Structure 1
């Protein structure tokens, strides 16, 4: 099915407004978050799907800037094995766009029963997850109709940035308030680079999507979007993991999509990876990374300067645009990928 417009594209465009509303709502809650922080030492993220990719961002952010150990939960420990784990001193952060995914609600309840304090990050005001948490960070993305998450994902990232500030991260809140304008700039720039990358992706069966550190979450989410809406065999990998073997799959018919903040400690490694990919005769496409990454890639989409801790909120937007346009170019409806619904229930 080929369409000239999509709900997904409209919702991508709604992200600056959704981010502004979310930050206006959540930044005043940092004192409540700080109170939970004083009772806990480490953070356990509970999530699936796109929310799990957001949790990866949250984990890097908290460990790099708040000095807290952060890990990803295995929900089956609660829902399948029913194991009891000592979670005294743990802050369990459950992330679910709807707040109605039973596995996530059940796992957060399990964490509380094991001694954890709880935070919900959800777009579902009044949802079971929001109602059960000690503190609910309810994002203001509005109703999201397209199955692939766009505005609910970026507002989750914003909520996790607020969480980091509340947990004592030595970061500037004023930088966070500038993010919606940066996303506006991404959406306002010509899409020639997006279109050029899309044309190069038509006909390929697979791709490697890579980043590291804060941008690793972007690589995971971009790969998920390409799989969901374009049915592309896309692997999301840290470039450190990629270099340990899977780089062998990158060739003239399997491009690499590389993402990085315009500055920061992982940029040089991403540029070196792009150079290695192109030297091997494989296409390399960049998102972000400034002039350095653009110069090492065949094609690149620029993003406005954001500090590395906030860059993933801007970096994912070009990947969303590429996904939406590629899906339509391939004759698919990006709003309703086959076999998927808006709320996924697992046990």
Structure 2
């Protein structure tokens, strides 16, 4: 049986190509709209919040702009007015219909921010209607509750946004993403071994750092949503400050890394520490050196660190879908979840 989630994972190369084709020609427009601003504020919840973490790291490390994550309750519950002059407020919502996110973006505009919507909900969605600039992704309809193609296309939109505000990157790296994702879908690595290693576990720690931290958070969320695992997503810097005590023979670690970059050596060292403590460690990406330090490994994309998260989550999505089926769970309709979540 092919699940909707598995089918939508397979649709990601086409969705990414369509999204990049639609948004890359708008780089100059993005630059003009963002010109009066000096820092970014990302507004999101759930999977979109994990995408926002990628956006934050990307603009700070490659565009030289301060960025932060909004607390929507400041706008919706406390109703406090802030001075957001010089701020580019970027709201992310797959549906474009999450009322809290729409309300917070409106609030940001009223506080003086230039507003941007990133959504798969189309230009007529409430979020798009509230924004000064709309970046619509081209994922098509997503039916499975766990987000896959709407997540990766949101990352693509944020990468284009970063280029528009002056990120010092090679744009050809972004154009290679769909092919890299296609390759990972065809060959994710030792998927069966990782599925079997997690099948009898109640919990898992998922860790990465820097630009890859967003992927750790997203994979942990997917394992919670679709496999009902107690999955903890952490930066490895935070993990080493105490929570590493939970990693033991009954609680393995999934460690994520780009093929290069300044955080990879620390990830390899963490894998060696986890294995040295008698626990299992599984790699996603990180090249041969990380794979050699772990129990089993999933492949990572052949992409530089700044765009690696667009591909790195894909083996994690495949792992989630396969593990859910192994556990007798329908990953398309996890218990207690709906496609559009409303918060007060």
TM-score of the superposed pair, with normalisation by structure 2: 0.99
Q: Which residue of 1 aligns with 2:251?
A: 254
Q: Which residue of 2 aligns with 1:200?
A: 197
Q: Which residue of 2 aligns with 1:151?
A: 149
Q: Which residue of 2 aligns with 1:290?
A: 287
Is this contact kept in 1: 2:301–2:312, CA < 8 A? Answer: no
Question: Partners in 1 of 2:231 and 2:32 — Cα distance?
Answer: 41
Question: 1:215 aligned to 2:212?
Answer: yes
Q: Which residue of 1 aligns with 2:232?
A: 235
Q: Which residue of 1 aligns with 2:127?
A: 129
Is this contact kept in 2: 1:274–1:284, CA < 8 A? Answer: yes
Question: Partners in 1 of 2:159 and 2:136 — Cα distance?
Answer: 13
Q: Which residue of 1 aligns with 2:175?
A: 177
Q: Which residue of 2 aligns with 1:138?
A: 136
Report the alpha carbon displacement of residue 136 of structure 1 after superposing the two structures with TM: 0.5
Question: Partners in 1 of 2:276 and 2:62 — Cα distance?
Answer: 36
Q: Which residue of 1 aligns with 2:112?
A: 115
What's the secondary structure of 1:287's corresponding residue? strand
Question: Partners in 2 of 1:111 and 1:131 — Cα distance?
Answer: 14
Q: Which residue of 1 aligns with 2:91?
A: 94
Task: Write out per-residue CA displacement over residues 86-127 of structure 1, whole angstroms, 9 at most, x where no aligned residue.
Answer: 000000000000000000000000000000000100001010
Structure 1: which 4+ aligned runs deviate by more than 2 Å?
none
Question: 1:46 aligned to 2:47?
Answer: no
Report the alpha carbon displacement of residue 259 of structure 1 after superposing the two structures with TM: 0.3
Is this contact kept in 1: 2:209–2:263, CA < 8 A? Answer: yes
Question: Partners in 2 of 1:248 and 1:332 — Cα distance?
Answer: 29
Is this contact kept in 2: 1:36–1:91, CA < 8 A? Answer: no
Is this contact kept in 2: 1:96–1:122, CA < 8 A? Answer: yes
Q: Which residue of 1 aligns with 2:223?
A: 226
Question: Partners in 2 of 1:67 and 1:37 — Cα distance?
Answer: 14
Report the alpha carbon displacement of residue 338 of structure 1 after superposing the two structures with TM: 0.4
Is this contact kept in 1: 2:34–2:114, CA < 8 A? Answer: no
Report the alpha carbon displacement of residue 195 of structure 1 after superposing the two structures with TM: 1.2
Report the alpha carbon displacement of residue 326 of structure 1 after superposing the two structures with TM: 0.5
Task: Write out per-residue CA displacement over residues 228-254 of structure 1, whole angstroms, 9 at most, x where no aligned residue.
Answer: 000000000000000000000000110
Question: Partners in 1 of 2:92 and 2:170 — Cα distance?
Answer: 24
Is this contact kept in 2: 1:32–1:135, CA < 8 A? Answer: no
Q: Which residue of 1 aligns with 2:163?
A: 165
What's the secondary structure of 2:190's corresponding residue? helix
Is this contact kept in 2: 1:22–1:159, CA < 8 A? Answer: yes
Gaps of 5+ in 2: none
Q: Report how many residues are paired.
A: 343
Question: Partners in 2 of 1:63 and 1:178 — Cα distance?
Answer: 23
Is this contact kept in 2: 1:277–1:284, CA < 8 A? Answer: yes
Report the alpha carbon displacement of residue 37 of structure 1 after superposing the two structures with TM: 2.0
Is this contact kept in 1: 2:189–2:297, CA < 8 A? Answer: no
Q: CA RMSD in A?
A: 0.7
Would the alpha carbon gap of residues 94 and 192 (structure 1) be closer, same or farther in structure 2, given more than 3 Å must change?
closer
Report the alpha carbon displacement of residue 303 of structure 1 after superposing the two structures with TM: 2.0
Q: Which residue of 1 aligns with 2:265?
A: 268
What's the secondary structure of 1:87's corresponding residue? coil
Is this contact kept in 2: 1:43–1:90, CA < 8 A? Answer: yes
Task: Write out per-residue CA displacement over residues 163-219 of structure 1, whole angstroms, 9 at most, x where no aligned residue.
Answer: 000000011111100100000100111x56111100110110000000000100000
Gaps of 5+ in 1: none
Question: Partners in 2 of 1:159 and 1:104 — Cα distance?
Answer: 18
Task: Write out per-residue CA displacement over residues 279-318 of structure 1, whole angstroms, 9 at most, x where no aligned residue.
Answer: 0000000000001100100100122310100000111000
Question: Partners in 1 of 2:301 and 2:198 — Cα distance?
Answer: 24
Q: Which residue of 2 aligns with 1:304?
A: 301
Would the alpha carbon gap of residues 288 and 192 (structure 1) be closer, same or farther in structure 2, given more than 3 Å must change?
closer
